[in-house]
Structure 1
């Protein structure tokens, strides 16, 4: 499977701190955490789209559709599990309708998008064994979390480059 290029929304510093607090709590409990991701570009983000390739035109289109809506506050509306035998633990996000419409318009022009539709979320942990899910849920808790998303970036896995758009 090819490595996916991605367009991602980034929280401000306070939002990053909220997410990293969850990452640290999971690590402190001896559970998988996004802190375990050793990549230099690892930071809290909301993936807008992942695809095998993205062009400069795709970047310009994304910037034109999404940047006028930023900054925008997103509220964590709950926790969810994604995956099979081992799961990803994520915070689902309530997103204003105009941002949802803009993301879906962008995605409609990218026929090779990795997933259908858009499930806005912040990833807390990947490859979490199912038997550890209960403990992970206790660790991260269920408090309301609001994150202000302020910028858009592009991840190019072949060049290993992150570009702020």
Structure 2
């Protein structure tokens, strides 16, 4: 199998899935917490229902935007990694790659969320309107970058 296709199938898509799943779940939880703060009575089944509906509902738009953002971030992180390797004249360590790709994932989510208003004329998604919500969304990006690093290292060895 072509190396690029294998990389996309076994590294990028799972990393994107983790990033999207976490971002969607964090989004839903932030909204549900805010509803609870204004004394809306929610049962656990309501929480599960909303989370599942948001996963399906956000996939075509937010999922696509996340995929595009992570794709660009990981391309840039690969270029930075190659530059660092060329400068140091040795391969980067797993921890360095984890730091670079984790930061790239988190930063891509931050830039994506901040760019939604001027580019798409969409206000920041409800789950990211607070500092905690924005940090949670960025954490989903860090997780995606970490998964990408782990999987790309794992499949590079084969």
What TM-score, normalized by structure 1, do the two folds share?
0.30
Whose helix proportion is higher, 1 or 2?
A: 2
Whose strand proportion is higher, 1 or 2?
A: 1
Larger Rg computed on CA atoms: 2
